[in-house]
Structures are given as C-alpha cells and as structure tokens.
C-alpha cells in the first residue's frame, strides 16, 4: 500500500555516466536527502563498462547504507555484489530471478501501465512494481501510467509501487498520496544542480 506519510525516492542513474565525475555527483545527492535505493540503468551492453560503473557506485551507495540494484543484468548483480535486479519484462522472469538470487535480493519489475502484469509480478515474488511513464515522453508507445492506476493499486495491492518516467512537479504532487516511491533519474541529472532539483521534487511530494 502507498505510504501514508510521504513517498520515498528511488534514484535512477543516467543511461551514460562519466566515471571521473558521476560518483561525486551521486554522493552529493545521497548526502543531501534520504534515498531508498539506486538503480544502475546504463544504456550500454558492454559488461566491462557496466562492471566498472557498478564498482564505483557500489562503494558510494554502500558507504551510505543505500541499496544498489542493476537493470536486467541478473548475472552481473550476483558477480558484482549488488543488492538486486530491476527487470524490464514485466512479470515474465520474476519467479526465475527470485529463485536464482534468493530471498534476500531485491527483485523489482517494470510493468509499463499494465495492472495485470503488476499483479502477476507481485504474485511471482517481486519486492516492488514500477509503472511508467507517468508523463509525456517520446519514448515507448505513448501509453501512460495514469493516476487511476496508482489510486487503484494503493487501495488494493500491498506490493510497493514506484512511479517513474517523465516526472514533473505537478505529477509528483498529484501522485504523492498514492505511490510509495518516485523513480527519479534524468529529471535531476539533466539539470545544472541535481541536488537543488531533487529538493524541488521532495518539496512537491510533501
């Protein structure tokens, strides 16, 4: 169910990061406010680049007691000592991933705007379900996860839910009472001052 107090922040890395700079940026954001979890979500499929990024960010995250999960790469999650994996295929591989990683790992599932997929993911053992995009974006097929979906989920389903994708301050205000987490990424990283921008989002969610 949605948290009756305030949603928490689930931080998503940019699709490309500069290792000489981004770990310090991330550290500044983590030191500025409480973050529940970080998702390493790089666009590259190069395992060496992903591994080097994971090593750098894991140190930043774990020093501050923040969990770090990785998009899709089940094998790398285990190999690199990460806290879990974020699946992009809805409920399809949740059960197998849970079995492979064990009960202690974080397993999340992105379910686009599919109520059915979200329910199936939760039943298969997902720790959280994310729906999105919640705002207009050229990515995807144009289907949005609307407030009605989050309202229904918060009333009917116990599995925590993440709202993500093209967030803005108005959407955050609207969804704050009915979501557990906001998945925030490019919304802050594409600005001059990620710490200040995140503070704006935090204020809007209160």
CA 202 to CA 170: how far, in whole Å?
12
Contact 85, 69 (CB under 8 A): yes
Taking only the tens of pLDDT, the chain with its 206 residues reads 344 589 999 999 999 999 999 999 999 999 999 999 999 999 999 999 999 999 999 999 999 999 999 999 889 999 999 999 999 999 999 999 999 999 999 999 999 999 999 999 999 999 999 999 999 988 778 899 999 999 999 999 999 999 999 999 999 999 999 999 999 999 999 999 999 999 999 999 99
pTM of the model: 0.95
Find, among 9, 2, 4, the residue nearest to 182 by Cα.
Answer: 9
Domains in the chain with CATH codes: 8-197 (3.20.20.70)
> In this structure, what token pair is assigned to residue 124?
């298969």
Q: How far apart are the two ends of the chain, measured CA to CA in Å?
A: 17
Find, among 25, 24, 33, the residue nearest to 201 by Cα.
Answer: 33
> In this structure, what token pair is assigned to residue 53?
């990024």
Give pLDDT, residue 1: 34
CA 103 to CA 12: how far, in whole Å?
23
> In this structure, what token pair is assigned to residue 104?
């202690």
Contact 71, 39 (CB under 8 A): yes
- Kindly list the distances between the CA atom of residue 153 and the CA atoms of 43, 47, 130, 144, in Å, as whole numbers in the listed order: 30, 36, 11, 15
């Amino acid at each position: 169910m949605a948290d009756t107090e305030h949603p928490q922040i689930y931080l998503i890395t940019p699709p490309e990061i500069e290792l000489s700079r981004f770990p310090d940026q991330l550290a500044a954001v983590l030191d500025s406010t409480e973050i529940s979890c970080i998702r390493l979500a790089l666009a590259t499929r190069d395992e060496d680049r992903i591994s080097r990024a994971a090593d750098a960010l894991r140190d930043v995250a774990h020093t501050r007691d923040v969990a770090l999960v990785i998009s899709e790469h089940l094998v790398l999650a285990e190999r690199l000592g990460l806290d879990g994996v974020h699946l992009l295929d809805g409920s399809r591989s949740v059960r197998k991933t849970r079995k492979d990683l064990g009960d202690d790992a974080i397993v999340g599932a992105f379910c686009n705007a599919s109520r059915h997929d979200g329910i199936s993911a939760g039943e298969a053992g997902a720790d959280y379900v994310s729906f999105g995009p919640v705002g207009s974006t050229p990515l995807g097929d144009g289907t949005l996860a609307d407030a009605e979906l989050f309202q229904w989920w918060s009333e009917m389903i116990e599995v925590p839910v993440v709202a993500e994708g093209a967030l803005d301050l108005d959407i955050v205000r609207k969804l704050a009472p009915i979501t557990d987490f906001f998945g925030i990424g490019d919304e802050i990283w594409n600005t001059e001052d990620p710490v200040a921008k995140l503070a704006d989002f935090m204020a809007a969610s209160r």
